[in-house]
């Protein structure tokens, strides 16, 4: 699985990127056929609370799943995105089984 991280309006630290890769890699436990994950991090309004936007775009055979969250920290946003994506992947897998 390929993981691409894109940060907009700031430079992500190596520590943040390592955190993201570790969290996102766990999605493969929910769905083995993930081809690629694109992570986008964006500072929406500097100097305000809830100004960090994190999004995950997960590419699976024949479909793309998307989730985004806005939080105080990117770590919190990634945690919420990964949890939400795990639920989407579980539903997607069930839908495939029922075909």
pLDDT at 9: 84
- Average pLDDT over the chain, rounded to an integer: 94
pLDDT at 46: 72
pLDDT at 77: 97
Q: Are 66 and 55 in contact (CB under 8 A)?
A: yes
pLDDT at 83: 97
Q: Give mean pLDDT in consecutive 10-residue pieces for the chain, a chain of 99 residues.
A: 93 95 95 95 84 96 95 96 96 89
Token pair recorded at residue 64: 């793309």
pLDDT at 56: 98
Domains and CATH numbers, the chain: 2-94 (3.30.160.100)
Q: Residue 53: which of 79, 25, 27, 72 has the closest Cα?
A: 72
């Amino acid at each position: 699985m390929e993981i691409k991280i894109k940060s907009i309006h700031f430079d992500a630290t190596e520590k943040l990127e390592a955190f993201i890769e570790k969290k996102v890699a766990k999605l493969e436990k929910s769905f083995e056929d993930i081809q690629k994950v694109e992570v986008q991090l964006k500072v929406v309004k500097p100097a305000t609370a809830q100004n960090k936007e994190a999004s995950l775009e997960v590419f699976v055979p024949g479909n793309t799943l998307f989730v985004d969250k806005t939080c105080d920290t990117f770590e919190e946003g990634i945690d919420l995105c990964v949890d939400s994506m795990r639920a989407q992947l579980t539903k997607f897998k069930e839908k495939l089984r029922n075909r």
